Amino acid sequence: MKLDARIPSGPLDKKWEKCLLEMKLVNPANKRKFEVIVVGTGLAGASAAASMAELGYGVKSFCFQESPRRAHSIAAQGGINAAKNYQNDGDSVDRLFYDTIKGGDFRAREANVYRLAQTSVKIIDQCVAQGVPFAREYGGLLANRSFGGAQVSRTFYARGQTGQQLLMGAYQALERQIGLGNVTMYPRTEMLDLVLVDGHAKGIVVRNLVTGEVSSHSADAVILATGGYGNVFYLSTNAVRCNVTAIWRAYKRGALMANPCYTQIHPTCIPVSGDHQSKLTLMSESLRNDGRIWVPKQPGDKRPSAQIPENERDYFLERKYPTYGNLAPRDISSRAAKEACDDGRGVGPGGLGVYLDFSDAIKRLGESKIRERYDNLFVMYERITGENAYKVPMRIYPAVHYTMGGLWVDYHLMSNIPGLFVLGEANFSDHGANRLGASALMQGLADGYFVAPYTVGNYFASNSVSRPATNHPEFTKVQEEVKQRTQKLLSIRGKRTPASFHRELGKLMWNNCGMARTDASLQLNLEKIPELREEFWKNVTVTGENNSLNQSLEEAGRVADFLEFGELTSRDALERKESCGCHFRTEFQTPEGEAQRDDANFAYVAAWEYRGENQAPVLHKEPLVYDELKMSQRSYK
Amino acid sequence: MNLTLKIWRQKDRQTRGEFVTCQARDIIPDMSFLEMLDVVNEDLMKAGHEAFAFDSDCREGICGTCSLVINGIPHGGQKGTTACQLHMRHFHDGQTITVEPWRAQAFPVLRDLVVDRSAFDRIIASGGFVSVNTGGAPDGNAIPISKVDADRAMDAAACIGCGACVAACKNASAMLFVAAKISHLGLLPQGQTERYQRVVKMVDTMDHEGFGACSVTGACEAVCPKQISLDFIGQLNRDYLRGSLKP
């Protein structure tokens, strides 16, 4: 299989313009003849559905939540990047492009990232016009803060609820189109399979989560904007129902899965408190603007933080990375925290934590200023831990947060299956091996507002495969397979709950395919995960019935897919015999303990092809070519 | 700690529901209320019984999905806290806790503790937006907005649409929810063009969906996990009066 990323020729800064000019258009009167299915209603899905409907296409939008407003984009706290240079600090499209490529450790596509940086400025304008209440300066202009991996302030924010406010903007645009009758909304409806007709994606099979009814929907194209797969680790900062099912089923129908081993571990999360825990909570990276991260210099120092004098504290990020200090990128900060704890210098119960200390910032700026910037985060911290971070330092530890990998897409955000588009976190395209803070919101909205509406239109205009009826034999066949799978889950009636399998899988993933991976640990996963999967299909218990609201059935289906996906992720991590960004193979590190890339052998996108049950997947490689930037060893010192 | 739970069981929208009693054993004070319910549900499933259906997703107090009335109070009575952020350290060993779904005509129960809040979506669809299509927006700094107005708009926009306000209100009124959206958009220059049509349309939809009238008792504000101020209802009433008088 030859992977053609369809990157336009010509200079980097003119590629998108050229692409836009070359794309075919659909006549306004003909747009209503085309229908598109959009699965997922987060930033990428809601913005794409609304924008496509505004253009005049027929849109069907699906989400498994009860309302499109519940999508997990809502939980993003810190902000959204844009190369506006409002702060006059030397920012530009080129600089955002460079920071993103470098942050991604030279494992992203230049052309995609450049387009993202170019588009970023329009996103802010669009969101302001929708009424997103971004933070303002006293003069009335937009305020910015800085984020990890950048030396300029380019992050726009709405208190600690930026994701919520951006999602409300996209959700309101979507609801407007629903009210106008241009979008048909299917909430509490989960996509369980993709349907291909003549090699093109032409529809989906879904389950109504209230009635259990399985049905088919056809369209001229399918957009998946179903988010990331971080919950393969069980504990993550994702919402508890985030899952891999939609993109995994697409993979099993032939879409390539790219770079699944690139999973980001976020440095600032509230540490795990016990086995009962259902999820981990992120403390926004923006806290690192004012908080200083430290551990005691002496291993095993159990004194309360206030009794440890200044000269016995190790501000390890400031020490190791003086230029970026506490704002070093996420992968580097997380590993540094892990090292400190591995040295026995971790703080809090179990020694799995480091301090994030605001006392200097409070002395410098006053408590009221800190309160204004972060109060909701401090309140959340106190609610969960029972500690007041204005008085004692926060304790934080890394946790799984974001997944850079996802379905392979070309420059048009179309997968290798014609007519199947993948947006936002669900695709692999823009963040390489590590995403910079405040870039996920940027990518989701860029894909949905400003890329897919054009590229999907181009697909409509240049393809002749018509929309099939849902009684087409392919739909009947796939629908039958979905029903059988559901029946199978219900008929096992074993002894273990879906959650217990999920927890066990999560432990395997975290221990063997987490912040540091080795050949041996990954081999172990390739042995253990299939065993666990086998046990699942013999011994899982799913209570209740099919024809009603059944959360245990929903959960079992998602866990079953994670049990397959975790194996592919481990395999991908095993094959990539280098360290890059968030993928840290212990065998491949510099003498200082930084990730050691191997550009001669691994400067490619790993795209995996499904070959059938019990068959090894096939690896396809898309070489990464750097015309504009020189691949270099990242340095944040 | 060990607790006795009286939880609402209801098969579906049509079937009559009832309280059933069950035990929650070996609960750790650091668990959230929903993690406690997870434990109860897993125990039930292991014994071959059906779990209680309840809605939750982000479990960090922002998605607005969780919807439990705990001991008679939506979200359980900790100030500014959703049920998913309510921790068991606020309960004591041996306590009996009742758990119910939101109760309101406009929020029919789908199963056990899960309700249908799509009426809120329909209220937004009727006018809770600024009518701008993608593309063609002016520069973000083209319209300066005073920090005071932007902050105030943000106070209103913080609403997570959970519906606790409706569940707490004796009339099941959605005034606080609607007022939050009216105020968020009405306080910003971008929202002025449609300000008065918006309020009339949203209030009409609210009435049509079966939410009750507001008598300003403030029960909504008291339980709101985002502490949305009752003052916004004043703003809604002023805008509505002006909107309904406008030709």
DSSP string, A194-251: EEEETTEEEEEEEEETTT--EEEEE-SEEEE-----GGGGSSSSS-TT--SHHHHHHH
Least confident of A82-96, A203-217, A262-276, A435-449: A262-276
One domain, residues B7 and B53: yes
Mean pLDDT, residues A232-240 taken together? 97
Residue B137: band (very low, low, confident or very high) from pLDDT cuts 50, 70, 90? very high
Phi then psi for residue A596, to 5 deg, are: -105, 105
Nearest CA distance, A156 vs chain B (angstrom): 11
- pLDDT per position as a tens digit, A175-197: 999 999 999 999 999 999 999 99
**Mutation target among A132, A231, A284 for the B interface, most CBs of B within 10 A:** A132
Q: Kindly determine whether residue B62 and residue A130, on different chains, have CB atoms separated by under 8 Å.
A: no
With an 8 Å Cβ cutoff, is B34 touching chain A? yes
For residues A501 and B15, give the distance between their C-alpha atoms in angstroms, rounded to a whole number.
33
One domain, residues B79 and B94: yes
- pLDDT per position as a tens digit, B72-100: 999 999 999 999 999 999 999 999 999 99
Residue A35's region, left for phi above 0, alpha for psi from -120 to 50, else beta, is beta
One domain, residues B106 and B82: yes
Residue A380: band (very low, low, confident or very high) from pLDDT cuts 50, 70, 90? confident
Render A327-354 in DSSP notation, one character per residue.
G--HHHHHHHHHHHHHTT---SGGG--E
With an 8 Å Cβ cutoff, is A371 touching chain B? no
For residues B116 and A187, give the distance between their C-alpha atoms in angstroms, rounded to a whole number.
10
Phi then psi for residue B164, to 5 deg, are: -60, -35
One domain, residues B122 and B232: yes
Handedness of CA B111, B113, B119, B120 (dihedral sign): negative
Strand partners, A399: A266
Using a CB-CB cut-off of 8 Å, the residues of chain B touching A550 are: 53
Mean pLDDT, residues A314-337 taken together? 92
Using a CB-CB cut-off of 8 Å, the residues of chain A touching B25 are: none
Q: Kindly determine whether residue B121 and residue A133, on different chains, have CB atoms separated by under 8 Å.
A: no
Domains and CATH numbers, chain A: 266-400 (3.90.700.10), 493-599 (1.20.58.100)
HEC string of A542-605 equals CCCCCCCCCHHHHHHHHHHHHHHHHHHHHHHHHHCCCCECCECECCCECCCCCECCCHHHHCEE
Using a CB-CB cut-off of 8 Å, the residues of chain B touching A65 are: 57, 63, 65
- pLDDT per position as a tens digit, A329-360: 888 999 999 999 999 999 998 889 999 999 99
Q: Kindly determine whether residue B147 and residue A171, on different chains, have CB atoms separated by under 8 Å.
A: no
Q: Kindly determine whether residue B46 and residue A68, on different chains, have CB atoms separated by under 8 Å.
A: no
Can you give the CATH number for the domain in which B59 is found?
Answer: 3.10.20.30
Chain B contacts in chain A segment 104-143 (CB below 8 A)? 122, 124-131, 133-142
The answer to whether residue A623 scores a pLDDT higher than 80 is yes
Domain boundary among B80, B111, B142: B111
Mean pLDDT, residues A519-523 taken together? 98
Catalytic residue among A115, A145, A330, A597: A330
One domain, residues B201 and B93: no
**Mutation target among A122, A543, A547, A555 for the B interface, most CBs of B within 10 A:** A543
For residues B64 and A262, give the distance between their C-alpha atoms in angstroms, rounded to a whole number.
30
Identify the H or E element spanning A433. none
Chain A contacts in chain B segment 96-125 (CB below 8 A)? 110-111, 114, 116-118, 120-121, 124-125
One domain, residues B161 and B238: yes
Closest to B173 (Cα-Cα) out of B181, B161, B163:
B163
Q: Where are the beta strands (DSSP E) in A246-391?
A: 257-258, 263-269, 292-296, 313-314, 354-357
With an 8 Å Cβ cutoff, is A210 touching chain B? yes
- pLDDT per position as a tens digit, B90-133: 999 999 999 999 999 999 999 999 999 999 999 999 999 999 99
Measure CA of the first residue to CA of the last residue in chain B; give whole Å. Answer: 63
For residues B155 and A347, give the distance between their C-alpha atoms in angstroms, rounded to a whole number.
36
Can you give the CATH number for the domain in which B177 is found?
Answer: 1.10.1060.10
Q: Give the mean pLDDT of chain A.
A: 96
Q: What is the DSSP letter of A404?
A: -
Burial of residue A208 (CB within 10 Å: 0-12, 13-18, 19+) is middle
For residues A380 and A343, give the distance between their C-alpha atoms in angstroms, rounded to a whole number.
29
Cα–Cα distance list, A259 to A319, A396, A518 (Å): 32, 28, 17
What is the predicted pLDDT for the residue at A433?
A: 97
What is the predicted pLDDT for the residue at A30?
A: 95
What is the predicted pLDDT for the residue at B247?
A: 64
Mean pLDDT, residues A89-117 taken together? 97
What is the predicted pLDDT for the residue at A476?
A: 98
Q: What distance lies between CA A96 and its chain's CA centroid?
A: 19
Q: Kindly determine whether residue A122 and residue B130, on different chains, have CB atoms separated by under 8 Å.
A: no
Mean pLDDT, residues A310-330 taken together? 93
Domain boundary among B111, B142, B173: B111
Residues in chain A: 637
Non-local CB neighbours of A367 within 8 Å, separated by 6+ positions: A390
ipTM exceeds 0.85: yes
With an 8 Å Cβ cutoff, is A74 touching chain B? yes
Domain boundary among B111, B132, B156: B111
With an 8 Å Cβ cutoff, is B241 touching chain A? no
Mean pLDDT, residues A243-261 taken together? 98
> From the CB of residue A274, how many other CB atoms can be counted at a distance below 10 Å?
11
What is the predicted pLDDT for the residue at A632?
A: 86
One domain, residues B75 and B141: no
What is the predicted pLDDT for the residue at A593?
A: 84
The answer to whether residue A530 scores a pLDDT higher than 80 is yes
Mean pLDDT, residues A20-43 taken together? 97
Identify the H or E element spanning A49. helix A43-55
The answer to whether residue A500 scores a pLDDT higher than 80 is yes
Residue B31: give the domain boundaries.
3-111
With an 8 Å Cβ cutoff, is B9 touching chain A? no
Residue A309: band (very low, low, confident or very high) from pLDDT cuts 50, 70, 90? very high
Chain A contacts in chain B segment 210-239 (CB below 8 A)? none
Chain A contacts in chain B segment 152-211 (CB below 8 A)? 153-154, 157-158, 160-161, 184-185, 188, 190-191
What is the predicted pLDDT for the residue at A65?
A: 98
Nearest CA distance, A3 vs chain B (angstrom): 32
The answer to whether residue A203 scores a pLDDT higher than 80 is yes
One domain, residues B171 and B69: no
Q: Kindly determine whether residue B51 and residue A278, on different chains, have CB atoms separated by under 8 Å.
A: no
One domain, residues B122 and B76: no
Nearest CA distance, A142 vs chain B (angstrom): 6
The answer to whether residue B246 scores a pLDDT higher than 80 is no
One domain, residues B210 and B103: no
One domain, residues B103 and B144: no
What is the predicted pLDDT for the residue at A572?
A: 98
Total domains in the fold of chain B: 2
The answer to whether residue A45 scores a pLDDT higher than 80 is yes
A330 is catalytic: yes
With an 8 Å Cβ cutoff, is B89 touching chain A? yes
* Residue B70 structure tokens: 């705990």
Using a CB-CB cut-off of 8 Å, the residues of chain A touching B102 are: none
- pLDDT per position as a tens digit, A550-594: 999 999 999 999 999 999 999 999 999 999 999 999 999 998 888
Q: Kindly determine whether residue A65 and residue B126, on different chains, have CB atoms separated by under 8 Å.
A: no
One domain, residues B27 and B97: yes
The answer to whether residue A621 scores a pLDDT higher than 90 is yes
